[in-house]
């Protein structure tokens, strides 16, 4: 177990992080790191940053340089976070501190900085940050760790009483507790405009999330524009032109995410949740029967036809080329067997296969064939927990996604890891479930490793995801419903396991929420209070 090292040099005049509700706002109150770094030491020694002279630069011995567009874009982005508000509001930067910090030097230490690569499950996101004169130094093995360090540096910056941009002498050594820290957004139940998706990717980076789980299609609509099967969106989307994601749109999302160290994992859930698929692909879904005649309605994907697997092979071949991540989420949850039971052809197939009346065996038959198809594309796969629960034969590197409340998620995580599979948790983090009051606290207290198991089992937990399903959210309310509640998940997945103090978290999260407002993210309030720079509105 790693011991949390959190060394804060605190003086009465400095007014550091842990002020109490109702006290007067002090100049360093803007400084509140979220998620909390693994090791962090600061002093009252303060330096001024001037927008006219401060620079973020590549260190001389860095393996990355000006040709690394990912870092160049990040330098501009974080410079704007630190200085744009001051410049926009004409605040005075000339008074106050005499001691000036001239630059932040970013040093990438690995031979390959990965400027043109994509983040992965095995990405090293660690970094070291030393803020001191004559220059602050950020060291990371690759660009992904540098991105996390830039976020931390920007969070250390605050305005003094004269409006001067200031940072204290600080030493940070940091790395994430879990490798998979995700947000699921659902663009099927309500179409999400690109602007909303991109804004939330921006917010994800502010909270050190690194996976965008894109639940892109479902029963309700099929907005993914497939070049191989264009009728899927032409007939399955809410509107074939205004409510679709074109190949260019998808490419934009993937690149925007990559520039922020975020993986994009697409989910195409089958055999259930596929009503929209059937509108553009005749014969794909099972025809339901009422007695001996078709009822005119359709159920899950028809698992007994060779044409089903021919379609899946072609479709997932395309998906594997569109989405560069090493993993695809294949769903596999909530399959309603009633339509399969009603269909005489399926009944006959069940008898031939010796499945009896156990339709979970039929589901497993389908899933197994689908997994073989996806395996042929050289992709790994993630599945919802039902696939494991139903005994489907899985590859050793399968990632099993736990979402159900019953059975208890701790026992499910224990069973999955005992079987040797990687697991990730979402059960306590369904943020579409809302209630009056500070529900973020329950979110904050949940832990993916709280189950009874061996140290080896705990190592198989790769992280988790906060999920925001789309029944009741669209572009009008998605972002404030998600943030800062998702920030609670972010700290649980990044910070040391001993970071559990809800009162301390509240103090920091209130300020982090104010920081997100200042950066243009309309995060909802945690409770009564105010921000020094309130959200300006639409």
> For the segment 456-488, what is each residue's pLDDT rounded down to a tens digit?
999 999 999 999 999 999 999 999 999 999 999
Which range (68-72, 192-196, 451-455, 531-535) has the least confidence?
Answer: 531-535
Q: How confident is the model at residue 90 (pLDDT cuts 50, 70, 90)?
A: low
Q: What percent of the chain has pLDDT over 70?
A: 92
Query: Pick the residue with more confidence: 187 or 11?
Result: 187
Q: What percent of the chain has pLDDT over 90?
A: 86
Which stretches does DSSP call E strand in 312-433?
327-329, 380-384, 399-402, 422-425
pLDDT higher than 70, residue 24: no
State the Cα–Cα distance between residues 17 and 24, nearest whole angstrom.
13
> For the segment 112-145, what is each residue's pLDDT rounded down to a tens digit?
999 999 999 999 999 999 999 989 999 999 999 9
Spatial CA neighbour of 299 closest among 343, 239, 249, 365: 343
Q: Do 399 and 263 contact (CB within 8 A), yes or no?
A: no
* Residues pairing with 57 in the sheet: 105
CA count, 13 A, side-chain hemisphere, 94: 1
Spans of all domains in the chain: 39-174, 176-267+400-537, 270-395
Q: Which residues contact 138 (CB under 8 A, 6 or more apart)?
A: 104, 105, 106, 107, 127, 128, 129, 146, 149, 150, 153
Tell me the average pLDDT of the chain: 92
Q: How confident is the model at residue 215 (pLDDT cuts 50, 70, 90)?
A: very high
- The distance in angstroms from the start CA to the end CA of the chain is 46
Q: What pLDDT, on the 0 to 100 scale, is given for residue 392?
A: 87
For 176-267+400-537, which CATH superfamily applies?
Answer: Glycosidases (3.20.20.80)
> For the segment 50-79, what is each residue's pLDDT rounded down to a tens digit?
999 999 999 999 999 999 999 999 999 999
State the Cα–Cα distance between residues 154 and 56, nearest whole angstrom.
11
Q: Are strands 39-49 and 211-215 parallel, antiparallel or unpaired?
A: unpaired
pLDDT higher than 80, residue 510: yes
Write down the residue that tokens 């031939």 correspond to: 352
> For the segment 294-346, what is each residue's pLDDT rounded down to a tens digit?
999 999 999 999 999 999 999 999 999 999 999 999 999 998 999 999 999 99
Q: What are the helix and strand counts (H, E) for the chain?
A: 17, 18
455 CA to centre of own chain: 26
Q: Which residues contact 512 (CB under 8 A, 6 or more apart)?
A: 32, 34, 155, 484, 487
CATH class of 270-395: alpha beta
The token pair at 461 is 């937990």
pLDDT higher than 70, residue 40: yes
State the Cα–Cα distance between residues 239 and 221, nearest whole angstrom.
9
CATH of 39-174, one of 3.40.190.10, 3.20.20.70, 3.30.70.20, 3.30.379.10: 3.30.379.10
Q: How confident is the model at residue 161 (pLDDT cuts 50, 70, 90)?
A: confident
Same fold, 176-267+400-537 and 270-395: yes
The token pair at 56 is 């973020």
Q: How confident is the model at residue 21 (pLDDT cuts 50, 70, 90)?
A: very low
Region 226-242 average pLDDT:
98
> For the segment 264-305, what is each residue's pLDDT rounded down to a tens digit?
999 999 999 999 999 999 999 999 999 999 999 999 999 999
pLDDT higher than 90, residue 363: yes
The token pair at 222 is 């099929």
State the Cα–Cα distance between residues 47 and 135, nearest whole angstrom.
10
Active site residues: 334
Q: What pLDDT, on the 0 to 100 scale, is given for residue 88?
A: 57
Is the torsion defined by CA of 440, 441, 443, 444 positive or negative? positive
């Amino acid at each position: 177990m790693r011991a949390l090292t959190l060394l804060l040099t605190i003086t009465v005049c400095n007014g550091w992080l842990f002020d109490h509700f109702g006290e007067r706002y002090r100049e360093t109150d803007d400084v509140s790191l979220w998620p909390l770094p693994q090791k962090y030491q600061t002093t009252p020694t303060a330096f001024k940053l001037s927008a006219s002279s401060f620079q973020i630069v590549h260190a001389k011995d860095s393996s990355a340089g000006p040709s690394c567009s990912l870092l160049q874009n990040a330098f501009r982005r974080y410079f704007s976070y630190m200085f744009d508000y001051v410049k926009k509001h004409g605040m005075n930067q000339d008074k106050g501190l005499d001691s000036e910090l001239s630059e932040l030097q970013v040093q990438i230490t690995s031979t390959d900085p990965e400027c043109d690569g994509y983040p992965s499950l095995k990405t090293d996101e660690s970094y070291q940050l030393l803020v001191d004169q004559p220059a602050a130094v950020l060291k990371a093995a690759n660009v992904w760790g540098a991105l996390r360090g830039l976020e931390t540096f920007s969070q250390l910056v605050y305005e003094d009483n004269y409006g001067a941009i200031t940072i204290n002498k600080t030493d940070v050594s940091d790395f994430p507790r879990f490798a998979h820290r995700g947000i699921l957004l659902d663009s099927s139940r309500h179409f999400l405009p690109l602007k909303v998706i991109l804004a939330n990717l921006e917010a994800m980076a502010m909270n050190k999330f690194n996976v965008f789980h894109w639940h892109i299609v479902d029963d309700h609509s099929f907005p993914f524009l497939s070049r191989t099967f264009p009728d899927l969106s032409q007939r399955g989307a809410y509107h074939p032109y205004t409510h679709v994601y074109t190949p260019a749109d998808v490419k934009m999302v993937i690149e925007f995410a990559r520039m922020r160290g975020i993986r994009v994992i697409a989910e195409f859930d089958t055999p259930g949740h596929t009503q929209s698929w059937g509108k553009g692909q005749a014969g794909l879904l099972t025809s339901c029967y009422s007695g001996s005649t078709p009822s005119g309605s359709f159920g899950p994907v028809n698992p007994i036809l060779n044409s089903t697997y021919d379609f899946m092979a072609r479709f997932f071949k395309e998906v594997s080329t569109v989405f560069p991540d090493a993993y695809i989420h294949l769903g596999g949850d909530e399959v309603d067997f009633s339509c399969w039971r009603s269909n005489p052809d399926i009944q006959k197939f069940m008898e031939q296969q010796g499945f009896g009346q156990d339709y979970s065996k039929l589901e497993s038959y389908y899933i197994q064939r689908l997994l073989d198809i996806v395996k042929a594309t050289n992709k790994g796969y993630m599945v919802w927990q039902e696939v494991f629960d139903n005994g489907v034969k899985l590859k050793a590197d399968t990632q099993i996604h736990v979402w159900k409340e019953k059975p208890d998620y701790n026992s499910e995580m224990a069973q999955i890891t005992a079987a040797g599979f990687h697991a990730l948790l979402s059960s306590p983090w369904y943020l579409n479930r809302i209630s009056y009051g500070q529900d973020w606290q329950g979110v904050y207290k949940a832990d993916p490793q709280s189950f009874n198991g061996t140290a080896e089992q705990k190592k198989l937990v790769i992280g988790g995801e906060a999920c925001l399903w789309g029944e009741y959210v669209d572009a009008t309310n998605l972002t404030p419903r998600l943030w800062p509640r998702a920030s609670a998940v972010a700290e649980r997945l990044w910070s040391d396991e001993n970071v559990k103090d809800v009162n301390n978290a509240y103090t920091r999260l209130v300020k982090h929420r104010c920081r997100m407002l200042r950066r243009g993210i309309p995060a909802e309030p945690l409770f009564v209070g105010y921000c020094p720079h309130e959200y300006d509105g639409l």
